[in-house]
Amino acid sequence: MADQIPFVDYLVLGEEPHLVARECAGCGARYFDHRVACAACGARDFGTVPVARTGEVRAFTIVAFAAPGVPVPFVAALVDCDGTSVRGNLVGVPPDPEHVRLGMPVALTTYVAGTDSTGVDAVTYGFAPLEG
């Protein structure tokens, strides 16, 4: 197996890949980026919490134009993972409105976004539809 690194620092790889968020100790707001203070309440203390691996599509768009080298079309979505909003692409689903719907149940999945010259894979995440 090739060496792998996460594409973003809030993706934890392993047997059960998952996302982690920084949670405000004051109000419970969650963020995926570094914060000096909470945007919701101003508190400065944060902890790290795992994010649910499943969720529901709350909003989506079908991207038809992207930077050179980025294959289009694809589905960009906002997924509610048990109260935590996560932005990610939908994978394993045709990029058209007949196959994507609001409220659609999805699960976190990972895939290789690219490989460097030494053979190290950069692994990113997306969400795949759950059957049922």
Question: For 50-79, what is each residue's pLDDT tens digit?
Answer: 999 999 999 999 999 999 988 999 999 999
Kindly tell me if the per-residue pLDDT of 34 is higher than 60: yes
Q: Per-residue confidence at 2, pLDDT binned at 50, 70, 90?
A: low
Token readout for 91 is 């994978």
Kindly tell me if the per-residue pLDDT of 1 is higher than 60: no
Instruction: Report the C-alpha gap between 113 and 89 in whole angstroms.
Output: 12
DSSP codes joined into one string, 11-26: EE-SSS-EEEEEEETT
| 3-state DSSP percent of the chain in helix, strand and coil, to 5 | 0, 50, 50
- Within a 13 Å sphere around the CA of 116, how many CA atoms are in the beta-carbon half? 9
Instruction: Report the C-alpha gap between 25 and 45 in whole angstroms.
Output: 6
Q: What pLDDT, on the 0 to 100 scale, is given for residue 69?
A: 87
| Residue 77, number of CB atoms within 10 A of its CB | 24
Q: What pLDDT, on the 0 to 100 scale, is given for residue 57?
A: 98
Q: What pLDDT, on the 0 to 100 scale, is given for residue 6?
A: 96
7-32 confidence digits (pLDDT tens)? 999 999 999 999 999 999 999 999 99
- CA-to-CA separations, 112 to 14, 73, 79, 106, in angstroms, rounded: 14, 19, 21, 19
82-110 confidence digits (pLDDT tens)? 999 999 999 999 999 999 999 999 999 99
